[in-house]
Each structure stands twice: as C-alpha cells, then as structure tokens.
Amino acid sequence: MAHQLQLEKERYRQWVKAGLGLGYLKEGIEPFCDDVTKQQHKDELNNIQQSKNLPTVTCGQCAVRTLKPDHLKIGNKQCPLGQANCNCCYTSGKIACPNNVCGAIYDNIITNHASTPPAPYWKNTQTQQWTGDSWSIAKCFINAPGYDQKTSAADIDCTGLLHVIINNKYFHNHIQCNLAGSNVFSKVTQYRNEIFHSSTMELEKTDASNYIDDMIAVLKDGKELIDRKDAQDAVKKLEELKNDDFIITTENMEKVLGDIREEIWNIRKSTEGLATKDDCDDLKIKYLHWNFSCLNKRR
C-alpha cells in the first residue's frame, strides 16, 4: 500500500513536470513567434502597398463575414484558392474594402495557410485590426477556439503559438524541421492535450521524459531557434526538470493549475456555456486532487 502511494506520488510529480515544461516551451518560442509574425505583417502590407500603388495601407472598417476578397470564384461556386465556404463564392452581401487593402489580406491568409484545403480559423480574428495589429492576422492560423480576445504573443498559450508555426507557411522559412506530415512540433501539441486533459493528473516517468525531450527538440530547431537566447534559456529549464532531484513546489503546482484554469475559461467563453459542464467537472476533480495532496503533505 505504501509502495502504491509512493508510485502515485511519483506519477503526479511527473505530471507536474510535464505541465511546467509546456510553460517553459512557451517562454522559449514566444519572442521568436512575435518577431516572425511582425515581420510577416510588415512584408505583407509593403507588398500590398507596392503592388496596388496605394498611398497608405490602413483600414478598420471591414468585417470578415461581409468582406469581398480580391480573388474571384471560378464558374458557379468554386474557390480558386481551394477554401471551402470562401467569401468569393457568395457575391450577394459582400462588400469590397473601401481602402482596397483587406481583400488582399484575406487572400494572403488563405494562400499562407498550410493545410489542404486551406482552413483559416476566421473566428479568432478581428478584421478591424488587420492593418494595425500583426497578431489579429496570425490568430487565423490557430486552429482552435478561444483566441479572439488575445492581442499579443504573451497572451497566447503554447499550443496557439505552435499552431501559428505549423499552419502558417511564412513560418516554414524560419524552421528547419519539415512541418508537413508527422513532426515534433505537431507531436508536442498532442502532448498538451494529454497532459491538460488527464483527469488523474498522473504521468509515467518515461512519458514525461519523452514529452520534455520533444519540447527540447522544438527549441533546438536548427534554422533560427537554436541561436536564440530565449530558446536556449528554456532548454536549460527543461533539462533541469529531467533531474530526479527537481523539487515540485506549491508555486510550481499552482502555475500548472493556473494554465489549465485559463484554458477552461477560454473554452467556456468561446462556446458560450455550451459543452462546458464536463470541463468544469474536470476542473473540480483537479482541484480536489490538488487539495487532497496538499492535505497529505501537511500531515
């Protein structure tokens, strides 16, 4: 019995380590994502300004639902860019950008999207911010709900940042790893689900070590990340996590639970009360588990 309890405690320790690892990974890739996103935004606006010979590239008046793209449908209802349900297929009620900018940005988002067919996540974006805020465009590449109110890289979790890298072709020029098909970046987004959605809050040591090794592999991507200070600092922290004598503090645990709390809050907001009861129950179980382990410690 005592042995069983020891094992459970060890698996819980491993779970907390993996959860902390995700936080370190985010810290390590955030400045890189922010820099590349800003560069992409600048490049795109410059290209639009030059190709259309515009005095300025600003807008703030268009809405994604009613925006008329620059590209035109083929035949009756076929998008030449391959997007399902594209605005180009519905001519009635669609309005061209009064500044001649947003239609081109819309097209760019589709052509930069790496999946086949391209599938930008329009619900995450705020079209009115397109010309002023690079992240309003980058968020179209996050293939999950809950990012519509986020306005900076700092606001966006590890998964969101990884999606921006994986789903945005512009980023692929800044990454050595081949992001088509199975790759370590995509694998890490899966781990996040396994860690955060584990109701037992337990993880085998070998799994935790594999997860952390793959997080390190992401941060050591040979093109640019490997030379960045933030990524190198994150690798050091992840390597410390792998030490057997790494001490899990209450602060550590609170950080991981805080991340989960934020995620559930995002899901709740984005689904507007739908399908959230299970998530809330899940969170309650996690709280109970956590309080229980604190109690055990005090004894």
Which chain residues interact with Zn ion by CB under 5 A? 59, 62, 79, 81, 86, 88, 97, 102
- Nearer CB in complex with Zn ion: 104/153: 104
- Nearer CB in complex with Zn ion: 64/88: 88
State in angstroms the smallest separation of the CB of 261 from Zn ion: 37
State in angstroms the smallest separation of the CB of 96 from Zn ion: 8
State in angstroms the smallest separation of the CB of 105 from Zn ion: 8
The tokens 């297929």 sit on which residue? 89
- Nearer CB in complex with Zn ion: 71/174: 71
- Nearer CB in complex with Zn ion: 42/77: 77
- Nearer CB in complex with Zn ion: 86/109: 86
State in angstroms the smallest separation of the CB of 298 from Zn ion: 59
State in angstroms the smallest separation of the CB of 241 from Zn ion: 46
